[in-house]
Amino acid sequence: MSNTLALAGAPPGVLPRTIARTWRKRSVMPGFGLTFGFTLAWLTLIVLIPLATIFLKAAGMGWHEFVAVGLSPRALAAYRLSFGTAAAAALVNAVFGLLVAWVLVRYSFPGKRVVSALVDLPFALPTAVAGIALTSLYAPNGWIGQFLEPMGIKVAFTSLGITIALVFIGLPFVVRSVEPVLADLGKDVEEAAATLGASRYQTFSRVILPAIGPALLTGFAMAFARGVGEYGSVIFISGNMPGKTEIAPLLIVTQLEQYAYAGATAIAVVMMLASFAVLLLINWIQAVNRRRMGA
Amino acid sequence: MKVRATSEDRLTQIVLIGLALTFLAFFLLLPLVAVFSEALGQGLGMFLEAVQTPDALAAIRLTLIIAAISVPLNVVFGIAASWAITKFQFPGKSLLITLIDLPFSVSPVVSGLIFVLLFGANGFVGPWLAEHDLKIIFAVPGIVLATVFITFPFVARELIPLMMEQGKDDEEAALSLGASGWQTFWHVTLPNIRWGLLYGVLLCNARAMGEFGAVSVVSGHIRGETNTMPLHVEILYNEYDFVGAFAVASLLALLALVTLVAKSVLEWRFDLHSGASH
């Protein structure tokens, strides 16, 4: 009833937000019970219950057993490698992702649409395909590897190779989160800065960068989180030497192959908690930053 | 030369464009070219032979079956979830959206692990399954479950912002004219969201066919039975059958290219902006 009233009172083409504001408790819209019930049931069955098992399993382990596997020297080395390479790759992506987003938003050049589509390749290309392709490129006799080898740079089967795979995987996260913010950024603030005598560099570092900072940090965080858990693109190029080039997700798989379910669970739980902690930290930085900017 | 105050001079632009394109060429284009070059490097005959081995054909069939089951499931869930979320007000809505997004932040390997812990031989439900002679882990149902989990947010994530933006006016008009709920959905809502839905389906399908980590954990790698295309690529590669591995990989790369083209066409034609975090 209230909806028809709201509709009758609203001018044609009114924003949905106005409708939403006048919307009352009762709705003529059907299907809430069906869709909400199905959504909740499916979510519980497919996501919540399976995810809960991992914590249930971990809770069933003794503290001693949990620490013995979850924080063993081999596991610690794997975490260090996974988090370290993911951070390095996300950093590279923050720099080059910003550059790519900038070029795509601000400049025009032939083939721009193709380049823009190509940026999403890591989302569409299966990770195993990316993994073997990168390995063949950076192997000592590969297209790129053969030039790096004489210079003494080893990429395949080292942590540098892992980082390169994670750069590939993470790039679109940064580009796609920075792009819309950069496009929405009005020219007027830059004009104002220029009128006040700022150089182009000053405008960039004092006006543009702070404005896109949160989006850049979000992209960094997403690339980082994805990199920590990444498996398919990394295992081919990493060489998988325990303690040296063994990433944490691979250690979980190794434990599973030995039917050491408790060990796999312990490592998975430590990884998830560490990832959550990093994401919370980044959220906190953003909240503090927003408060300081007064937005 | 006069420099415009809100842009860079042409030389700086060219340097920046060149730098960005070089980076993209090395990190994105070259791997893609390498896949096709390695697959076809020994001639078309070798390529065709490699993709027609019984194991490769079985892997292709299984991958198609997995996608054919998991994508429709996600379409139904995505539509139901976005209908409930965008057409109604209820407490805990943002929590629900966060929970739907949860599979994005879980490592693929962990996504497989949870189903092993649940349905594996030593899992919570494992003994009961064994008693009733049901097999989920190291069988097709496990692969479907892991794939559905991994692709869980794809369709909903595409539809929620779109339906939020479209509001409820159209549906309310139809309902007030006497249409039933289902009629309203089929004749009003579905035509409104079809391109966004197709966009979500494309991305969901690409991920479903290409998923490696989660599927690898639950599949057991039984040749001809539980080997999907990405897993078959791994097996061939580890056996040093590089032509075979890259031949199957090139089919997946082709799928990725088709997905990218279709996605771009949808973006340009229907002004669907790309989501930031697929």
Using an 8 Å Cβ cutoff, are A169 and A227 in contact? yes
Task: Please tell me whether residue A273 adopts helix, strand or coil conformation.
Answer: helix
A58 inside domain: no
Closest CA to B247 of B53, B9, B79: B53
Does B117 score more than 80 pLDDT?
yes
Mean pLDDT computed over every residue of chain B: 91
Residue for token pair 């303690």: A243
A216 inside domain: yes
Contact B5 A194 (CB under 8 A): yes
What confidence tier does B267 reach under pLDDT thresholds 50, 70, 90?
confident
A57 inside domain: no
Interface probe for A, chosen from B201, B241, B277, B278 (most Cβ of A below 10 Å), is B277
A44 inside domain: no
pLDDT of residue A15: 47
Does B33 score more than 50 pLDDT?
yes
Residue for token pair 């390169």: A164
Buried b (16+ CB within 10 A) or exposed e, B67-80: bebbbebbbebbbb
Using an 8 Å Cβ cutoff, are B197 and B159 in contact? yes
Using an 8 Å Cβ cutoff, are B195 and B270 in contact? yes
CA distance linking residue A128 with residue A43, whole number of Å: 28
What phi and psi values does residue B159 have, to the nearest 5 degrees?
-80, -35
Write the single-letter amino acid at B83.
W
Closest CA to B150 of A256, A53, A254, A51: A51
A47 inside domain: no
Count of structural domains, chain A: 1
Does B194 score more than 80 pLDDT?
yes
CA distance linking residue B65 with residue B210, whole number of Å: 13
Instruction: Please state, in angstroms and as integers, the Cα–Cα distance from residue A82 to each residue in A90, A228, A255, A280, following that order.
Output: 12, 5, 17, 18
Contact A46 B275 (CB under 8 A): no
What confidence tier does B45 reach under pLDDT thresholds 50, 70, 90?
very high
Does B276 score more than 60 pLDDT?
no
Residues in chain A, how many?
Answer: 295
pTM for this predicted structure:
0.89
Does B129 score more than 90 pLDDT?
yes
Q: Which residues of A touch B24 (CB under 8 A)?
A: 100, 115, 118-119
Task: Please tell me whether residue A283 adopts helix, strand or coil conformation.
Answer: helix
Q: Which two tokens stand for residue B256?
A: 């990725």
Q: At what angle do helices B190-210 and B154-166 cross, to 10 degrees?
A: 160
Option in A19, A124, A231 nearest B109 (CB): A231
Q: Which residues of A touch B181 (CB under 8 A)?
A: 30-31
Q: What's the rounded mean pLDDT across residues B150-174?
A: 93
Closest CA to A37 of B146, B198, B105, B90: B90
pLDDT of residue A7: 39
Long-range contacts (CB closer than 8 Å, 24 or more residues apart) made by A155-159: A155/A237, A156/A237, A156/A239, A157/A237, A157/A238, A157/A239, A157/A241, A157/A245, A158/A239, A158/A245, A159/A81, A159/A84, A159/A85, A159/A238, A159/A245
pLDDT tens string B144-157: 999 999 999 999 99
Q: Please report, in angstroms and rounded to a whole number, the separation of the first and last CA atoms in chain B.
A: 44
Contact A31 B181 (CB under 8 A): yes
Alpha helices in chain A (DSSP H): 2-9, 16-22, 32-43, 49-60, 63-70, 73-106, 112-118, 121-124, 127-138, 145-148, 159-184, 187-195, 200-203, 209-229, 232-238, 248-257, 261-293
CATH classification at residue A196:
1.10.3720.10
Q: Domain of residue A282: give its range.
A: 63-292
Using an 8 Å Cβ cutoff, are B21 and B15 in contact? no
Q: What's the rounded mean pLDDT across residues B133-142?
A: 93
A235 inside domain: yes
A37 inside domain: no
Instruction: Please state, in angstroms and as integers, the Cα–Cα distance from residue A30 to each residue in A221, A270, B156, B184, following that order.
Output: 39, 44, 19, 10
Contact B27 A171 (CB under 8 A): yes
Residue for token pair 């001693």: A64
**How many CA atoms does the CB half-sphere of A12 hold within 13 Å?**
0
pLDDT of residue A3: 41
pLDDT of residue A148: 92
Contact B275 A54 (CB under 8 A): no
What confidence tier does B218 reach under pLDDT thresholds 50, 70, 90?
very high
Option in A57, A96, A115 nearest B117 (CB): A57
What does the pLDDT profile of chain A (295 residues) look like in tens digits? 334 334 333 444 444 544 444 444 456 789 999 999 999 999 999 999 999 999 999 998 888 989 998 999 999 999 999 999 999 999 999 999 999 999 999 999 999 999 999 999 999 999 999 999 999 999 999 999 999 989 989 998 899 999 999 999 999 999 999 999 998 887 888 888 888 988 888 888 888 998 899 899 999 999 999 999 999 999 999 988 888 899 999 999 999 989 899 999 999 999 988 888 887 888 788 788 777 766 5
Q: Which residues of B touch A278 (CB under 8 A)?
A: none
What confidence tier does B278 reach under pLDDT thresholds 50, 70, 90?
very low
Name the burial class of residue B210, with classes exposed (0-12), middle (13-18) and buried (19+) by CB atoms within 10 angstroms of its CB.
buried
- CA angle centred on A228, ends A226 and A230, rounded to 5°: 65
Option in B88, B123, B229 nearest A27 (CB): B88
Residues in chain B, how many?
Answer: 278
A23 inside domain: no
Option in B7, B96, B110 nearest A229 (CB): B110
CA distance linking residue B146 with residue B152, whole number of Å: 10
Closest CA to A47 of B70, B126, B145: B145
pLDDT of residue B10: 87
Closest CA to A36 of B20, B85, B136: B85
What confidence tier does B198 reach under pLDDT thresholds 50, 70, 90?
very high
Write the single-letter amino acid at A190.
E
CB atoms within 10 A of CB A38: 18
